[in-house]
């Protein structure tokens, strides 16, 4: 075997190209390769690996097929923007066309390349506009048609190769009016060309399409259940079998720690998988489709879309969206990277494992008080596994196929919305964010730091270096005005409701600074007697900075986060808005944690006069459940299939309020307790951990190898004599 290098893309912050789709020429002597980052199609000599020609195509080319003397290239981001087009970032300096309302990528295309052209600048024969996230391509056996899967539009575009025009649009779901959520992203034909098989990623299913474009009668016949997010498919004609590659797959068995005799999972404990599916008879499709619908709880969508009834009494959580609720203000707190057992493993009333608890009552007295005073949720899960998808799930209730296919190394972007190359208009769901849903339906919004890029530094721009944690701590205590705490919205549509003198992700800024800023803003709302209906808060410092000597200890940072959360809840609960308020909180992802039930299980909070008191709720919820409950309260329709099928958190609420406010507890830990310098640490393991921490990148979310940071935190909190829970180790080293 051998490999051939591609010309470097020389994009900002990434020199290497990102190879995507591949196709051989009809004689097998040339290989065509999509250069996803440089927006080119490469023609390569198969024998030598030399690049013969490079053709300019659209934005983020994904797949290529060859029909006669033409190459068809699908472009995730559509045509290249022209002067005057409204654009947004798409990673590594790429710009993509976006819509004017949500600032999300709004075009897909297929470039048609004339392979007989005399010059590459004349080879682009046509740019066919298809729909969103033009991804996989398939050629019909008779070469008459090229079909493009439009993953973010839930449909397929059929291109007639004689005219190079779209002659039919085929829906990969039952009805074009159905909520977004099929994500067709890969496809193949049966040998006779009469049936098309399509991988519907977010339905974990293969769509079976009767292919009849000549009379415009192509239609979905049914669905076949397969594995977790099918992302590639081929037809084995000899065995009459569909071979489906699923991007993710469940672990075969939990990991076991032989020393402690314990077993469990973490959120990276998964494999890819392959489903081998005998081609079903058409008569079998209704039963198979029913299994798919049951798996993604399709029956709940009808309930989510049920029209509100007149003359209904106000209920804390309305039975139908649009019916009245006494709750008028929703506060949504998004924290960073903790599992349930890490924080609440010591709470006897819940399903916890105290041996895995490292940030228990001593470090998180306020969060412990919250779950004792209100609701302890011991069966709630993050939908994402790290910040790139965690912040997407936390705000859009969705993970696009672009996002799912970036997990290998995040080559284009790490789209958590918190910095450079972390804002990517191609990554976002076409249905938008929770704030888009709110604004569209007349619900007022305010955002403290979520999807905001930090622009912090010295106020004196001539001063060298960057402020450290101690400098921001000094600013918090004394207000000398030497440092600048600021940010810019990652998505331009957020600017009107995202203050730029606040910051979300910036680990050097204490969370108690954020709490003070928020309580000051609350005082302004009190004076005006107006508070936005939806308030979003990014509160990130429970992520910690390991044992870096320039940062507080992990325990101090978690205590800082806990105190800030407590202060925010105290201020809100003592305000005039408390009687009509609900506060929700969850981690964006559980990446740095371990848990005896699931690596996805996390800490979550429901705090309200209308919440149950002193209750343990073990109903299974996840991130989308919180979003769905907020929508249910505020009268917002679901954004997509996932929040529509999510279970509202009815079990957490009561229609008999208790207006007793929350009073924050003082911290047990000095918030300025700093990690020692490595040279002053006698224990060799802890000294090595400190040296590693000094080299880790805490400027960006999740920029540290998960297993390394896990071990650093375990050693710091439990000591090196306590065996590390081996089942928490990531199966494949992940250093994104």
Compute the distance between CA of residue 420 and CA of residue 13 in angstroms, rounded to an integer: 10
Least confident of 283-287, 404-408, 606-610: 404-408
Residue 724 forms part of a structural domain:
no
In this prediction, residues 401-415 reach a mean pLDDT of: 93
Instruction: Indicate if the pLDDT at residue 206 is higher than 80.
Output: yes
Q: Are residues 696 and 596 in the same domain?
A: yes
CATH number, residue 692 = 3.40.720.10
The three-point CA angle 19-24-30 to 5° equals: 90
Residue 180 forms part of a structural domain:
yes
* pLDDT computed for residue 261 by the predictor: 59
Per-residue confidence at 725, pLDDT binned at 50, 70, 90?
Answer: confident
Residue 118 forms part of a structural domain:
yes
From 94, 129, 164, the end of a domain falls on 129
Contact yes or no for 402/390 (Cβ under 8 A): no
Q: Are residues 444 and 524 in the same domain?
A: yes
Residue 470: exposure state from Cβ atoms within 10 A (0-12, 13-18, ≥19) = middle
Q: Are residues 182 and 105 in the same domain?
A: no
* pLDDT computed for residue 360 by the predictor: 97
CATH number, residue 171 = 2.130.10.10
Instruction: Indicate if the pLDDT at residue 729 is higher than 50.
Output: no
In this prediction, residues 413-439 reach a mean pLDDT of: 96
* pLDDT computed for residue 634 by the predictor: 98
Q: Are residues 413 and 428 in the same domain?
A: yes
pLDDT digits (tens, 9 = 90+) for 499-523: 999 999 999 999 999 999 999 999 9
Q: Are residues 241 and 318 in the same domain?
A: no
Q: Is 386 left (phi over 0), alpha (psi -120 to 50) or beta?
A: beta
In this prediction, residues 524-529 reach a mean pLDDT of: 98
Place of tokens 């309305």: 318
Residue 559 forms part of a structural domain:
yes
Q: Are residues 147 and 104 in the same domain?
A: no
* pLDDT computed for residue 257 by the predictor: 58
In this prediction, residues 452-458 reach a mean pLDDT of: 97
Instruction: Indicate if the pLDDT at residue 736 is higher than 50.
Output: no
Q: Are residues 289 and 430 in the same domain?
A: no
Q: Are residues 410 and 504 in the same domain?
A: yes
Residue 703 forms part of a structural domain:
yes
Residue 377 forms part of a structural domain:
yes
What are the tokens at 656? 């008999």
**Residues of the domain holding 165:** 133-296
* pLDDT computed for residue 734 by the predictor: 41
Using CA atoms, how far residue 635 sits from 315, 319, 353, 605, 645, in Å, is 12, 11, 38, 21, 16
pLDDT digits (tens, 9 = 90+) for 58-90: 999 999 999 999 999 999 999 999 999 999 999
Residue 546 forms part of a structural domain:
yes
Q: How many domains does the chain have?
A: 3
Contact yes or no for 358/611 (Cβ under 8 A): no
Residue 263 forms part of a structural domain:
yes
From 68, 102, 129, the end of a domain falls on 129
Q: Are residues 499 and 614 in the same domain?
A: yes
From 110, 129, 148, the end of a domain falls on 129
In this prediction, residues 316-342 reach a mean pLDDT of: 97
| Mean pLDDT, the chain, integer | 94
Q: For residue 281, how many other CB atoms are within 10 A of its CB?
A: 7
Q: Are residues 548 and 686 in the same domain?
A: yes
In this prediction, residues 640-663 reach a mean pLDDT of: 98
Listed residue (624, 617, 663) closest to 646, CA to CA = 624
Q: Are residues 324 and 432 in the same domain?
A: yes
* pLDDT computed for residue 563 by the predictor: 98
What are the tokens at 392? 């997407």
Q: Are residues 389 and 435 in the same domain?
A: yes
pLDDT digits (tens, 9 = 90+) for 289-302: 999 999 999 999 99
């Amino acid at each position: 075997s051998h490999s051939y290098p591609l010309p470097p893309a020389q994009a900002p912050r990434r020199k290497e190209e990102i190879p995507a789709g591949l196709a051989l020429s009809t004689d097998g002597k040339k290989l065509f390769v999509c250069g996803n980052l440089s927006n080119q199609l490469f023609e390569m000599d198969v024998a030598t690996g030399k690049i013969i020609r490079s053709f300019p195509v659209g934005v983020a080319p994904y797949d290529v097929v060859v029909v006669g003397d033409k190459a068809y290239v699908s472009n995730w981001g559509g045509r290249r923007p022209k002067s005057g087009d409204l654009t947004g970032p798409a990673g590594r300096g790429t710009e993509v066309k976006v819509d004017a309302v949500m600032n999300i990528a709004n075009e897909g295309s297929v470039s048609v390349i004339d392979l007989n052209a005399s010059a590459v600048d004349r080879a682009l024969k046509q740019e066919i506009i298809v729909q969103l996230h033009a991804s996989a391509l398939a050629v019909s056996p008779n070469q008459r048609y090229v079909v493009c899967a439009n993953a973010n539009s839930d449909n397929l575009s059929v291109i007639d190769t004689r005219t190079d025009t779209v002659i039919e649009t085929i829906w990969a779901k039952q009805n074009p009016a159905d909520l977004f959520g099929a994500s067709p992203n890969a496809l193949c034909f049966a040998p006779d060309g009469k049936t098309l098989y399509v991988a519907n990623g977010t339905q974990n299913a293969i769509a079976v399409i009767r292919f009849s474009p000549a009379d415009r009668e192509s239609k979905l016949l049914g669905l076949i259940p397969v594995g977790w997010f099918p992302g590639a498919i081929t037809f084995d004609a000899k065995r009459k079998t569909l071979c489906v590659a699923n991007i993710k797959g469940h672990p075969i068995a939990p990991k076991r720690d032989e020393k402690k005799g314990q077993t469990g999972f973490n959120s990276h404990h998964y494999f890819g998988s392959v489903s081998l599916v005998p081609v079903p008879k058409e008569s079998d499709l209704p039963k198979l489709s029913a299994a798919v619908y049951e798996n993604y709880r399709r029956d709940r969508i009808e309930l989510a879309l049920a029209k509100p009834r007149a003359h209904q009494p106000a209920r804390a959580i309305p039975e139908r969206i649009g019916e009245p609720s006494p709750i008028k203000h929703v506060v949504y707190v998004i924290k960073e990277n903790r599992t349930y057992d890490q924080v609440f493993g010591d709470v006897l009333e819940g399903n916890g494992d105290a041996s895995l608890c490292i940030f228990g009552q001593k470090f998180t007295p306020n969060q412990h008080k919250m779950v004792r005073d209100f609701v302890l949720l011991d069966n709630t899960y993050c939908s994402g596994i790290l910040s790139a998808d965690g912040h997407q799930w936390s705000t859009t209730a969705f993970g696009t196929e672009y996002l799912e296919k970036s997990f290998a190394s995040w080559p284009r972007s790490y789209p958590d919305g918190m910095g450079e190359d972390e804002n990517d208009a191609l990554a976002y769901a076409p249905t938008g964010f929770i704030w888009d849903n709110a604004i569209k339906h007349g619900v007022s919004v305010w955002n403290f730091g979520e999807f905001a890029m930090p622009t912090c530094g010295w106020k004196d721009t001539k001063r060298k270096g960057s402020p450290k944690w101690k400098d921001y701590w000094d600013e918090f205590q004394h207000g000398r005005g030497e440092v600048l705490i600021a940010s810019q919205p990652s998505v331009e549509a957020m600017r009107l409701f995202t203050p730029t003198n606040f910051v979300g992700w910036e680990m050097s800024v204490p969370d108690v600074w954020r709490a003070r800023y928020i309580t000051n803003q609350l005082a302004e709302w009190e004076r005006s007697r107006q508070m936005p209906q939806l308030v979003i808060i990014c509160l990130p410092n429970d992520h910690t900075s390991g044992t870096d000597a320039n940062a507080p200890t992990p325990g101090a940072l978690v205590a800082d986060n806990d105190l800030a959360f407590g202060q925010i809840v105290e201020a809100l609960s003592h305000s005039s808005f408390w009687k009509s308020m609900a506060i929700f909180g969850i981690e964006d992802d559980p990446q740095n944690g371990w848990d005896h039930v699931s690596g996805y299980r996390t800490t979550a909070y429901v705090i309200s006069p209308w919440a149950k008191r002193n209750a343990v709720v073990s109903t299974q919820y996840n991130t989308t459940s919180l979003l769905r409950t907020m929508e249910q309260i505020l009268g917002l329709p679901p954004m997509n299939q996932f929040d529509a099928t999510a279970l509202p958190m009815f079990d957490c609420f009561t229609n008999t309020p208790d207006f007793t406010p929350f009073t924050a507890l003082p911290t047990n830990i000095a918030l300025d307790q700093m990690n020692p310098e490595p040279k002053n640490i006698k224990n060799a393991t802890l000294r090595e951990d400190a040296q590693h921490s000094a080299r880790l990148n805490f400027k960006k979310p999740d920029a540290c190898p998960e297993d390394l940071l896990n071990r650093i935190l375990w050693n710091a909190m439990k000591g090196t004599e306590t065996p590390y829970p081996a089942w928490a180790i990531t199966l494949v080293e992940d250093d994104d």
